[in-house]
């Protein structure tokens, strides 16, 4: 069997600290070749751009891309002419055609007490947020005209069709389409396309439409109601981070960005946490679970993916708690706890 090549983008802040143990974990799962590249703020410092053409080409050649985190106060700016680390992520998603972001949310029983919500509210929650990733406000025409700034939300029928199909294929019984069709014209088109794709291709799946503000409320009042949520880019960005807190820590949530025939991009939901960088206390579990999604969705290695997820579950059930989970385990201690359960 050919060796799989994984492009590693450790990025900024705690990124390198959670990348190294994830490489160690993956070495136990199979025979991989790892190619590490600068990305985000460190790339801006070295090359003046968050994503260079050479790194983009390397990612295209890889079988999968594993990203840790980007950003930090050092690169924060409101000057539109200066590069930001997050621009590299948007550019890479666009370059690889990654139009679907998958964020599974499943609170673990061992961590129910870490959630800000009551145990009886989150018990049994198992949902997937499917976020459109390459359209909407983040990619529309933008600019400034005197003392006015503008951002444009644009969606085409084909863009909506492909993300909606991704959601229906992932669902067993119900898809919740989230929009703002009572106000936005782009949302009215979104709803029209969702209705047609459902009627013509997936009539066996239940479909419901929920306005984004109502969806935000239901996520914290009745999260068990949701199975698959599909929505546009900005709404998905906000709702998926809200849903992440059902688990008690954003440090536990992985994500997968998928698209066409090229490699997928796998990354934890959390940021670069510059306030704890270099202290050896970063929680590596979301990065481990992102590696599990890489194995499952990127390389079709389901058994290995399930083994990683099981090892994380067992380590937490045995009492592993990093600082964000109310404990004191270091990154090294969390890594050993998971590896011991593989």
Distance CA 62, CA 152 (A): 33
Distance CA 259, CA 8 (A): 19
Distance CA 125, CA 226 (A): 8
Give Dmax (Cα) for the chain.
Answer: 60
Q: Is 275 a catalytic residue?
A: no
Q: Is 45 a catalytic residue?
A: no
Q: Is 118 a catalytic residue?
A: no
DSSP 271-291: ---TTTTTSS----HHHHHHH
Q: Which of 74, 112, 123, 237 is catalytic?
A: 237
Q: Which of 12, 63, 99, 138 is catalytic?
A: 138
210, 203 in Cβ contact below 8 A? no
Q: Which of 45, 213, 275, 318 is catalytic?
A: 213
Rg of the Cα trace of the chain?
20
2, 299 in Cβ contact below 8 A? no
Q: Is 261 a catalytic residue?
A: no
Report which of 242, 116, 228 is spatially closest to residue 165, judged by C-alpha positions.
Answer: 228
Report which of 185, 183, 309 is spatially closest to residue 254, judged by C-alpha positions.
Answer: 309
Q: Is 147 a catalytic residue?
A: no
Q: Which of 63, 179, 180, 313 is catalytic?
A: 180
Q: Which residues are catalytic?
A: 138, 180, 213, 237, 241
């Amino acid at each position: 069997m050919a060796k799989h090549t994984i492009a590693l983008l450790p990025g900024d802040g705690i990124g390198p600290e959670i990348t190294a143990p994830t490489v160690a974990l993956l070495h136990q799962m199979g025979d991989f070749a790892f190619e590490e590249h600068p990305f985000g703020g460190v790339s801006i410092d070295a090359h003046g751009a968050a994503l260079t053409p050479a790194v983009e080409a390397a990612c295209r050649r890889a079988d999968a891309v594993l990203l840790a985190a980007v950003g930090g106060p050092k690169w924060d700016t409101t000057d539109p002419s200066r590069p930001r680390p997050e621009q590299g992520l948007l550019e890479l998603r666009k370059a690889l055609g990654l139009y679907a972001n998958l964020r599974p949310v499943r609170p673990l029983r061992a961590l129910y007490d870490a959630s800000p919500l009551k145990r009886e509210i989150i018990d049994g929650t198992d949902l997937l947020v499917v976020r459109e990733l390459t359209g909407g406000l983040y990619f529309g025409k933008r600019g400034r005209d005197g003392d006015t700034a503008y951002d444009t939300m644009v969606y085409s029928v084909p863009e909506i069709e492909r993300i909606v199909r991704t959601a229906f294929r992932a669902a067993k019984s119900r898809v919740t389409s989230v929009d703002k069709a009572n106000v936005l014209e782009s949302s009215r088109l979104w709803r029209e396309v969702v209705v047609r794709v459902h009627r013509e291709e997936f009539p066996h799946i239940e479909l419901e439409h929920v306005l984004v503000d109502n969806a935000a409320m239901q996520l914290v009042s009745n999260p068990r109601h949701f199975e698959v949520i599909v929505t546009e880019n900005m709404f998905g960005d906000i709702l998926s981070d809200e849903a992440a807190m059902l688990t008690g820590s954003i440090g536990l949530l992985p994500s997968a960005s998928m698209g066409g025939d090229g490699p997928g991009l796998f990354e934890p939901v959390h940021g670069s946490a510059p306030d704890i960088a270099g202290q050896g206390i970063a929680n590596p579990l979301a990065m481990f679970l992102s590696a599990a999604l890489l194995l499952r969705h990127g390389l079709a290695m389901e058994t290995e993916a399930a083994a990683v997820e099981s090892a994380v579950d067992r380590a937490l059930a045995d009492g592993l708690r990093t600082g964000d989970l109310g404990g004191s385990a270091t990154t090294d201690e969390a890594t050993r706890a998971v590896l011991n359960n593989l």
